[in-house]
């Protein structure tokens, strides 16, 4: 442990316990210099530093170095909540990331991180440490543990923790029984929005959203923020989450998300998260139905703005879209063209430090989150902190997240509508023809896919302070599906090998009224399922592709990985795969739930011309399993086409249905997703798929 760089991962263990207390199942302690102790313990340094000697199996030496100026990140109290959306908090975190990134050696990084851990706000520290580990060349191959292990209070019902401590104190390590979290615990079906709570509250989905923002921070050193097509990916990843959520809603006989674009009307959706903050020792504030947004004036959080300010920023962004350019900080006009316009707009909307003019166009996306998260206490008179909309790790649990992002998406769509429809030349691939497409899952008819419930366990022990050691599991129920494969038959009518990109999408076939979608309405619901390159020999080519190979997802085991030494592969490709790629949509949520009768969806497959797809990479990147949502680390985004192609633009004149859109290199067929309302156990430990025993 002391010989490699993985010791720093023990700083994630029990973040509110002192750094000198042994960490992890390996009982690792940091051997810190006495002056690294917080001031209140320095008078008893010898007693403190030797107290846990008998319980320590291994000590990690920590070098005594000159500590950089921490006055900026020290401004946030240890027991306060931390929000990336608040400018004051964001600037503190950015400064801490900058300190971590610019430390010369790993030993210096470890030393400063150890010094910071017991002095800084734990939530901010873990965020900055995670970003730094993912981006420093000497640590970027380390596996950052899932946030559900570090701060389980962001993911499970607050009542779980007292039960967990009781179980830990009563039962020995090997005999502890997992604590069951019911599928329905935040509301009843009297609230129709609760029908899709299983999607919003899914631990894997919320972990994906958190990890994506670690990979793509919007503030910090420019070297780690300024990634290839970062703004466009902000648009596309969130658009795809919207499309998936709408498919879940239609599966459950709900209408599509209502956009929250009138900020002076009451919010019809209420939400009571049932989460407690273990760090701040407070319940996350709830929002009753009918809450109104108000002007924000919170001196403690150093944030003051009016709802009118948000409206003014929105109007300026729409003006930029309709005039075809934004005004940068020097007063120059920057065109929102076909190639770069969506990327500029994404950085401007979020807004990241790459925004061309934050003073003029503001911080619309983040301040919208802030306004909603403080709706219950806009002027801090009740000394309440922000609600779950103020934290990327929890925001997706709230129905208003999707209503607000439906508005955010319409701004991007407004820009896309100013672009010309794709021409036949931009869509077709002469000489390449798709002759047939289908999907096949085990023991069901062709073009029928199966979904069901599964129960899985998550270990809370890494995030629970001062309790007996050893695993403490909670068992949660989540959506899952049977693995399936795509069968695609492609005819290469030329005499030469043709290379292309296979693009697979699905979308609901019928709207809320049971009527077929027009293409203009259906294209925004297209869910990207997979994207991969193929080489086509002359004549007929049969392509098989497993659902577990999706370019969107990562396996269940990587979403909920345990990073302790005995669970890590010993070396080779398996270790590299384990360490990398924490970013990606969870595999168990690849498919919408569907319904018992079979939810009809259109399966669309296209083989596009590699000449317009291929990206010449400057260097070989890594972590490309979920490249569609997360890109490839250290490389360019691996597709030269606009994200969402060919559905990111309005169809041409006279093209009203998906069938009319097809060129020879495209095909569409109907599939049905059949939901079985049963709990199916995972059939093998360590499985990278979702094999079943009964379907």
Which uninterrupted H or E stretch holds 604?
strand 599-609
Out of 193, 350, 414, 614, the active site residue is: 350
Q: Say if CB 599 and CB 251 are below 8 A apart.
A: yes
Side-chain half-sphere CA neighbours of 664 within 13 A:
12
DSSP output for 524-583: GGPEEEEEEEEEE-SEEEEEEEEGGG-SSEE-HHHHT---SGGGS--SHHHHHHHHS---
What's phi and psi for 167, nearest 5 deg? -65, -40
Please identify which residue in the block is written with the tokens 């260097």.
619
- Give the contacts of 171 (CB within 8 A, at least 6 positions apart): 177
Pull the structure tokens for residue 433: 């023809």
Query: Which letter does DSSP use for residue 595 in this model?
Result: B
> How far is it, in rounded angstroms, from Cα 85 to Cα 153?
19
Q: Which helix (H) or strand (E) holds 63?
A: none
Beta bridge partners of 671: 601
Outline where DSSP puts E strands in 428-538: 432-440, 448-459, 473-481, 485-492, 498-508, 527-536
Which helix (H) or strand (E) is 254 found in, with range? Answer: none
CB 463 within 8 A of CB 393: no
Phi, psi of 606 (to 5 degrees): -140, 140
Distance CA 294, CA 307 (A): 7
Chain centroid, CA 200 distance in Å: 12
DSSP string, 643-686: TTTTSSSPPPTT--SHHHH--TTEEEEEEEEEEEEEE----STT
350 is catalytic: yes
- C-alpha torsion angle, residues 357, 359, 364, 368 (rounded to 10): 160
Helix-helix angle 87-102:122-135, to 10 degrees:
40
Per-position DSSP letters for 204-235, written without gaps between them: HHHHHHHHHHHHS-SSS-HHHH--TTHHHHHH
- Burial of 593 from C-beta contacts in 10 A (0-12 / 13-18 / 19+): buried
Instruction: Give, as one character, the DSSP assignment of residue 77.
Output: -
- Residue 601's SS3 state is strand
> Exposed/middle/buried for 216, CB within 10 Å: 0-12, 13-18, 19+?
buried
Asked if residue 79 lies in contact with residue 280, where contact means CB atoms within 8 angstroms, the answer is yes
For residues 632-652, one letter each, b for 16 or more C-beta atoms within 10 angstroms of the residue's C-beta and e for the rest, the string is bbbbbbbbbbbbbbbbbbbbe
Contact by Cβ (8 Å): 495, 538: yes
Q: Could you tell me if 631 and 227 are in contact, meaning their C-beta atoms sit under 8 angstroms apart?
A: yes
Catalytic residues: 350
């Amino acid at each position: 442990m002391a010989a490699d760089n993985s010791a720093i991962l023990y700083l994630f263990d029990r973040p509110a316990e002192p750094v000198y207390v042994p960490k992890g199942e390996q009982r690792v302690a940091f051997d810190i210099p006495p002056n690294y102790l917080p001031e209140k313990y320095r008078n008893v340094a010898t007693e403190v530093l030797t107290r846990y000697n008998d319980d320590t199996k291994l000590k990690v030496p920590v070098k005594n170095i000159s500590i950089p100026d921490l006055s900026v990140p020290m401004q946030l109290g240890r027991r306060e909540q931390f929000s990336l959306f608040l400018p004051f908090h964001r600037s503190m975190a950015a400064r801490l990331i900058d300190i971590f990134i610019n430390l010369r050696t790993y030993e210096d990084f470890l030393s400063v991180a150890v010094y910071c851990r017991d002095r800084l706000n734990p939530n901010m520290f873990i965020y900055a440490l995670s970003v730094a580990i993912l981006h420093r060349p000497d640590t970027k191959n380390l596996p950052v543990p899932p946030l559900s292990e570090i701060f389980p209070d962001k993911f499970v019902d607050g009542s779980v923790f007292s039960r967990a401590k009781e179980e830990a104190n009563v039962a020995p390590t090997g005999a502890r029984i997992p604590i069951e979290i019911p599928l329905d615990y935040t509301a009843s079906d009297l609230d129709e929005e609760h029908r899709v709570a299983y999607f919003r509250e899914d631990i894997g989905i919320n972990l994906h959203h958190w990890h994506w923002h670690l990979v793509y921070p919007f503030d910090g050193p420019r070297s780690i923020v300024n990634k290839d097509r970062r703004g466009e990916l902000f648009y596309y990843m969130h658009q795809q989450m919207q499309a998936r959520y709408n498919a879940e809603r239609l599966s459950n006989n709900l209408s599509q998300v209502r956009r929250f674009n009138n900020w002076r009307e009451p919010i019809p959706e209420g939400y009571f998260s049932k989460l407690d903050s273990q760090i701040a020792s407070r319940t996350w504030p709830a929002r009753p139905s009918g809450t109104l947004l108000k002007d924000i004036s919170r001196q403690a959080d150093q944030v003051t703005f009016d709802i009118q300010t948000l409206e003014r920023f929105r109007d300026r962004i729409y003006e930029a879209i309709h005039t075809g350019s934004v005004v940068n900080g020097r007063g120059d006009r920057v065109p929102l063209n076909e190639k770069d316009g969506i990327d500029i707009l994404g950085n401007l909307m979020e807004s990241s430090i790459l925004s061309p003019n934050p003073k003029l166009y503001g911080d619309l996306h983040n301040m919208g989150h802030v306004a909603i998260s403080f709706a219950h206490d806009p002027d801090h008179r009740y000394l309440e902190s922000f609600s779950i909309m103020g934290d990327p790790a929890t925001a997706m649990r709230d129905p208003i997240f999707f209503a607000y992002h439906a508005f955010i998406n319409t701004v991007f769509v407004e820009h896309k509508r100013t672009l010309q429809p794709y021409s036949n030349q931009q869509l077709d691939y002469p000489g390449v023809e798709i002759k047939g497409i289908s999907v096949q899952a085990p023991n069901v008819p062709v073009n029928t896919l199966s979904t069901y419930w599964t129960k899985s366990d998550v270990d809370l022990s890494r995030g629970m302070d001062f309790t007996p050691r050893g695993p403490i599991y909670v068992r949660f129920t989540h959506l899952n599906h049977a693995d399936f494969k795509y069968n695609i038959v492609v005819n290469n009518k030329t005499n030469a090998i043709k290379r292309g990109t296979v693009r697979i999408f699905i979308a609901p076939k019928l709207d809320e009224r049971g009527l077929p979608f027009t293409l203009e309405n259906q294209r925004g619901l297209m869910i990207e399922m997979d994207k991969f390159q193929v080489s086509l020999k002359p004549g007929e080519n049969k392509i098989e592709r497993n659902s577990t190979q999706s370019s969107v997802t990562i396996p269940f085991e990587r979403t909920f990985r345990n990073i302790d030494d005995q669970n890590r592969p010993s070396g080779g490709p398996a270790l590299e795969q384990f360490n990398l790629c924490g970013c990606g949509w969870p595999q168990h949520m690849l498919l919408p739930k569907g319904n018992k009768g079979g939810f009809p969806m259109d399966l669309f497959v296209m083989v596009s011309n590699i000449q317009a797809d291929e990206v010449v990479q400057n260097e070989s990147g890594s972590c490309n399993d979920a490249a569609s949502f997360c890109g490839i680390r250290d490389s360019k985004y691996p597709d030269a086409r606009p994200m969402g192609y060919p559905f990111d633009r309005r169809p041409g004149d006279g093209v009203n249905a998906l069938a009319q859109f097809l060129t020879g290199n495209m095909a569409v067929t109907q599939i049905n997703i059949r939901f079985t309302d049963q709990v199916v156990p995972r059939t093998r430990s360590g499985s990278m798929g979702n094999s079943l025993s009964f379907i």
